[in-house]
Structure 1
Amino acid sequence: MTQSNVQGEGARPHGRQTGEPGWDDSPYEQNGDGDHDGDSGPPSAPRGHGQHGGGHRGNGNRKRPRRKHRVLRWSATVLAVAILGTAGAGYLYYQHLNDNIRKGERSSGDSKAQKSKPNAAGQTPVNILLIGSDSRNSDENVALGGSRDNRGNPPLADVEMLIHLSADRKSAAVVSIPRDTRVDIPECKDPKTGKKYPKTNVIINESLARGGPGCTLATWQNLTGIYIDHWMTVDFAGVVKMADAVGGVDVCVNQNVWDRPHQGVPGGSGLKMTAGTKKVKGKQALQWLRTRHAWGSDLLRARAQHMYLNSLIRTLKSQNAFTDSGRLMNLAEAGTQSLQVSEEIGTVKKLYNLAMQLKTVPTNRITMTTMPNVKDPQNDDHVIPDGADAEKIWRMLRDDVPFDDKGTTPAPKKTTSGSEETKAPSLAADRLGVVVQNATGTSTQAPVGGRAGEISRVLVEKGFDRAVRDRAGALSEDQTVVRYPSADLEGDARSVAKALGIPMSSVMKSTDVSGVTVVVGSDWRTGTSYPKQSPLKAGDLPSNSDAINGSDTGQCMDVYKPYRW
């Protein structure tokens, strides 16, 4: 076959020359008529003709390479618009999620808890208070929660759980406090209305109505001595949205259950299930979490809630919810609509980062518990913390000791100055002013008279000549602490603690004192030396904490006989 000599038809000419008119090798854009801004061909050269002859190039004056180039330019433009459009939509969606989030003040009550000091690796734990509100201030919540007469009333905190994420992010612990636990609620101020509520001694679920979630957080801090970094609240409608977004959670009952009004006992969640393992979602998930009569008590309701949460965590992990973009978007939409959070975590990014930290914990390193408690001597329908056993739980959390037996007890925490014993006192003991306060009173016990004077005399005997008792009224603190107002007095406070045998973890900086202050708590009601505390051990929980491991899939609720069918 004879090869054509006409350029533009058949085979391309061999050895294309740089700068040859008709071939686009300029790196710059073309002007409006298709020519190069810096074209090397002569201005008078007719379009469509090469330097080597007058062969016709394709159709009229249009050159195929230029058409191809123009198509590429248009494709690039369309692609750029698409990318920008997608990015814009993504930004708008991100803003939409942020706008969904309701925020509030972290603490709105009087509390002296201090942040945990870093461990040897410089890590600190994270504590989050999860609050389930019984608010009926919307049509949706009234429909789900019943009790239409309570619409508009301040919400109560019917579910309260502290989630503790260990400093090394290898374990997590959850502790519930029953809603009918009588505690001291501190003075709180409602951040929305400015209304002040005086301190009181009532059941803990009333704290939410006395200044919002920030008051509940302050109540927990005073009870436990644990600094709580964040709070989250969810109402009835929020539980339903979250359960639907996950697609349901497996729960189990040993007998058929129907939680309904029965034999003079009004109310009931409406939960009706046959025996065995069932997947609950939407309204039925809310019924499971609210059921109380059918389990036999409010304490057993906490166990059912722990089973649900463990199952929820296992479900999320099995679904790869944090890597499946579609499912993650559903969860993000439901979560941001359902949760109200403390303001320092009030963005999607911060909530996502927090979720990623929780995600790293294996299910067999998650332990759900209930605060050890006993009947309230003032009211059989209420409970109070069970002294030493409750304090042991709080100590484990304060010292970041794992609730499961697969971890190890952490090394002693560093102080701001390094090791525990290196901060030297700024004054000689006989020149240091020390105030001793009596805070031995509790919600169930009157303060022990004379304790401040007794301990101040012990300090004088040990060389602290200026130690005096505080003549103010008796206070209430669960844990004995030594407080100091500024860094220059840290070493002095530590020397006082050492003299009395108080652990260094109980030496805390506080702006509520003007000098070194010993607060004798209810854990030191007798004796002149601080009682020795047994060393904490990973997994050594009190027997009455009702612990459930997150990997235990065999948990099943027994149904109280009157509520079987």
Structure 2
Amino acid sequence: MARSGTPGEGTRPRVRHAGQLGWDDGLYEEGSESSTDSGTGERGAASGESGHRRGGSKRRGKKGKHRVLRWSASVLALLIIGGAGAGYLYIEHLNGNLKKADLTLGDKKMADHKANAAGQTPMNILLIGSDARDSAENQKLGGAKETFGAPPLADVQMLVHLSADRSNMSVISMPRDTMLKIPKCTNPETKHVYPAPTGLKMTNETLERGGPGCTVATWYELTGITIDHFMMIDFSGVISMADAIGGVPVCVKGNVYSHTSAGKGSGLKLEKGTTKIKGKQALQWLRTRYGFEDGTDLGRTHAQHMYMNSMVRELRKGTKLTDPGKLMDLAEAATDALTVDKGENGLGSVNKLYDLAEELKKVPTKRITMTTMPNVYGTGALKERVLPKPGDADQLFQMVRDDIPLDGKASKRKKKAPVAEKPTSTPAETPVTVRNGTRTETEYPAKGRATAVKDLLAEKGFTQGSIDAQNTESAARTTVSYPSVDMKGNAQALAKALGIPLSAVKKSTAVSGITLTVGADWREDGPYHAPSAEEKTPDSARALNGDDEKACMDIQPGFGF
């Protein structure tokens, strides 16, 4: 499958902006595909409840889940192919299908994972959905002819977190219209440098700034979550995968026809109840916005989560994947549609994907949790865009960083509690650098916080404090960093003096001495108050369990038949 060239190289016949049509439902200006014979499958009884509705102005944002589904299908399909004993030459052929790119294009080095008490580490995979219309098949499926050949956008972004003990898996989807800061990215092949843009930009613009590695760097900048791999896919391959699986059961609470008088909509037409969809109809489900819930991308995101969970359940059954021809078709579609991270530790071979699938397979569906990054609508010029929701988004990211299951159940092994070390010097002999990291996506840094905390440290006996005014990086939570083991006890003593938990004291090669970063959780004067120890996924993340077979989509008024 061909791909769009690297942004900045050559001349583009057309230029598209991040807010324009991408993975939005339907074929846009060509109108919806109203035929109902595109993969219509078995009918079933109406079932279940769906999550709450969310109001607000319509926007094109959360295209996220479509691709994720394909990624899961891709990995699991490769698992099945490998288990069937595919020949060496065929495996090499599939390896040749895979496209590869650098994991990260940012300047910031991602932190190493912290092992649990058993020495296990988690794994984080960023799933990226490109809206590239760079092939005949992508153009046919994607519509929007005016964007053919334009730089691709990362319209779908989902972070998959596989717990250290492999007992659970969490997924966080980020709406494509999320406004955030994009770091400087350098294309490793052309050496072209994309400076960090001024102000906030849409997250889907990251892909055109050098490739998927810039999307990875942006996620790390926002969340602090170490990302081990990425998998990127475009429009192609979805129909083949859905057909090979044999169909995926989905449910709607009423008859639905995604079609507007202006010719927009996915063309999805389903009767009330449960239908097993495949082929083009599966693609329509994944792209439907008009007709689901309140007509925004939030509803579409939820529908995609339902599809993904249902698809995983079908793949786990394995009853439909018995035809060798379909398995080969699925493997071809999966590998041909994927771009993965390269390098010795990357996913650039079928064997690596097989190993990944083996790890994913360890998680029972009842321990899979789909969520959407908590978000709020912007104001003024950003009224149709979203921002990470203060507090809730940080809490979700922190839970993933700390390897806390989003389904509310305890992991099989408890995390190893930090061990207090003996200080090697007195507070008065301990130099401390203080940074103001209180900036958030919606608020400027709290003025004077570094100075105030430096004075507070002096009251506690740490009189050798200094302020690092040059470092303006934001931090969701207050942390104490130290560069070498001999400073650990001193760093812990400082944290204890301020009431900062020992879990917030971390070794880091990015600092030259003990460094206290005042986070967004300490914007106000006064003593530090540690965040609640409650390990609960925010309601605003709209969690959906992988075993929920009763999940059923609400239908938007005016889109029935």
TM over 0.5: yes
Number of the residue aligned with 1:541: 537
1:304-383 equivalent positions in 2, closer than 5 A: 304-319=303-318, 329-343=328-342, 344-378=346-380, 379-383=382-386
SS at match of 2:391: helix
1:273 shift after superposition: 2.6
Number of the residue aligned with 1:231: 230
Number of the residue aligned with 1:461: 459
Tell me if the contact between 2:240 and 2:329 (Cα under 8 Å) persists in the aligned partners: no
From 289, 293, 311, the counterpart of 1:292: 289
2: CA distance between counterparts of 1:390 and 1:176?
Answer: 11
1: CA distance between counterparts of 2:503 and 2:471?
Answer: 26
1:546 shift after superposition: 1.1
Tell me if the contact between 2:167 and 2:411 (Cα under 8 Å) persists in the aligned partners: no
Larger radius of gyration: 1
2: CA distance between counterparts of 1:507 and 1:325?
Answer: 53
1:452-491 equivalent positions in 2, closer than 5 A: 452-472=450-470, 474-491=472-489
Tell me if the contact between 1:402 and 1:409 (Cα under 8 Å) persists in the aligned partners: no
1:136 shift after superposition: 1.0
| Paired positions, count | 470
The structure-2 alpha-carbon separation of the partners of 1:486 and 1:327, relative to structure 1 and needing over 3 Å to count, comes to farther
1:387-466 equivalent positions in 2, closer than 5 A: 387-408=390-411, 411-413=414-416, 419-422=418-421, 424-466=422-464
Tell me if the contact between 1:289 and 1:304 (Cα under 8 Å) persists in the aligned partners: yes
From 382, 386, 389, the counterpart of 1:386: 389
Tell me if the contact between 1:483 and 1:513 (Cα under 8 Å) persists in the aligned partners: yes
2: CA distance between counterparts of 1:494 and 1:326?
Answer: 60
Matching of residue 506 in structure 1 with residue 504 in structure 2: yes
Number of the residue aligned with 1:163: 160
Task: Deviation per CA, 1:351-388: give whole Å up to 9, x if none.
Answer: 11111111121111111111222211242211112212
Number of the residue aligned with 1:126: 123
Matching of residue 551 in structure 1 with residue 554 in structure 2: no
Number of the residue aligned with 1:220: 219
SS at match of 2:506: strand
2: CA distance between counterparts of 1:229 and 1:437?
Answer: 28
Number of the residue aligned with 1:526: 524
SS at match of 1:514: coil
From 254, 262, 268, the counterpart of 1:271: 268
Q: What letter corresponds to residue 399 of structure 2 in structure 1? A: M
Q: What letter corresponds to residue 434 of structure 2 in structure 1? A: V
Tell me if the contact between 1:225 and 1:479 (Cα under 8 Å) persists in the aligned partners: no
Q: What letter corresponds to residue 541 of structure 1 in structure 2? A: T
Gaps of 5+ in 1: 1-87
Q: What letter corresponds to residue 223 of structure 2 in structure 1? A: T
1: CA distance between counterparts of 2:174 and 2:493?
Answer: 36
SS at match of 2:447: coil
1:519 shift after superposition: 1.8
Q: What letter corresponds to residue 546 of structure 2 in structure 1? A: G
Tell me if the contact between 1:134 and 1:235 (Cα under 8 Å) persists in the aligned partners: yes
Number of the residue aligned with 1:135: 132
Q: What letter corresponds to residue 219 of structure 1 in structure 2? A: T
Task: Deviation per CA, 1:421-442: give whole Å up to 9, x if none.
Answer: 13x4454433332211112112
Task: Deviation per CA, 1:310-362: give whole Å up to 9, x if none.
Answer: 01100100116899977655543332112111121211111111111111211
The structure-2 alpha-carbon separation of the partners of 1:349 and 1:313, relative to structure 1 and needing over 3 Å to count, comes to same
Number of the residue aligned with 1:240: 239
1: CA distance between counterparts of 2:218 and 2:110?
Answer: 10
Q: What letter corresponds to residue 362 of structure 1 in structure 2? A: P
The structure-2 alpha-carbon separation of the partners of 1:216 and 1:347, relative to structure 1 and needing over 3 Å to count, comes to same
2: CA distance between counterparts of 1:326 and 1:120?
Answer: 45
1:554 shift after superposition: 1.2
The structure-2 alpha-carbon separation of the partners of 1:363 and 1:324, relative to structure 1 and needing over 3 Å to count, comes to farther
1:117 shift after superposition: 0.9
Tell me if the contact between 2:165 and 2:412 (Cα under 8 Å) persists in the aligned partners: no
2: CA distance between counterparts of 1:193 and 1:262?
Answer: 46
1:26-175 equivalent positions in 2, closer than 5 A: 90-111=87-108, 113-175=110-172
The structure-2 alpha-carbon separation of the partners of 1:224 and 1:259, relative to structure 1 and needing over 3 Å to count, comes to same
1:459 shift after superposition: 1.9
Task: Deviation per CA, 1:255-300: give whole Å up to 9, x if none.
Answer: 232323445xx74333233332222223322221122222211111
SS at match of 1:387: coil
2: CA distance between counterparts of 1:212 and 1:195?
Answer: 12
From 513, 519, 524, the counterpart of 1:515: 513
SS at match of 1:162: strand
SS at match of 2:237: helix
1: CA distance between counterparts of 2:528 and 2:109?
Answer: 21
Q: What letter corresponds to residue 185 of structure 2 in structure 1? A: C
Number of the residue aligned with 1:303: 302
1: CA distance between counterparts of 2:384 and 2:261?
Answer: 19
1: CA distance between counterparts of 2:139 and 2:254?
Answer: 30
1: CA distance between counterparts of 2:241 and 2:100?
Answer: 18
1: CA distance between counterparts of 2:296 and 2:325?
Answer: 39
1:115 shift after superposition: 2.8
Q: What letter corresponds to residue 147 of structure 2 in structure 1? A: N
The structure-2 alpha-carbon separation of the partners of 1:328 and 1:357, relative to structure 1 and needing over 3 Å to count, comes to farther
Deviates more, 1:99-108 or 1:374-383: 374-383
Tell me if the contact between 1:127 and 1:163 (Cα under 8 Å) persists in the aligned partners: yes
The structure-2 alpha-carbon separation of the partners of 1:440 and 1:192, relative to structure 1 and needing over 3 Å to count, comes to same
1: CA distance between counterparts of 2:174 and 2:297?
Answer: 10
2: CA distance between counterparts of 1:481 and 1:145?
Answer: 45
Tell me if the contact between 2:169 and 2:405 (Cα under 8 Å) persists in the aligned partners: yes
Number of the residue aligned with 2:59: none
SS at match of 1:369: strand
1:146 shift after superposition: 0.6
Tell me if the contact between 1:117 and 1:413 (Cα under 8 Å) persists in the aligned partners: no
- The TM-score, its normalising length taken from structure 1, stands at 0.77
1:531 shift after superposition: 2.1
Matching of residue 186 in structure 1 with residue 188 in structure 2: no
Tell me if the contact between 1:173 and 1:367 (Cα under 8 Å) persists in the aligned partners: yes
1: CA distance between counterparts of 2:476 and 2:409?
Answer: 29
1:492 shift after superposition: 3.5
SS at match of 1:561: coil
2: CA distance between counterparts of 1:131 and 1:500?
Answer: 41
2: CA distance between counterparts of 1:498 and 1:412?
Answer: 20
1: CA distance between counterparts of 2:411 and 2:509?
Answer: 34
Tell me if the contact between 2:124 and 2:227 (Cα under 8 Å) persists in the aligned partners: yes
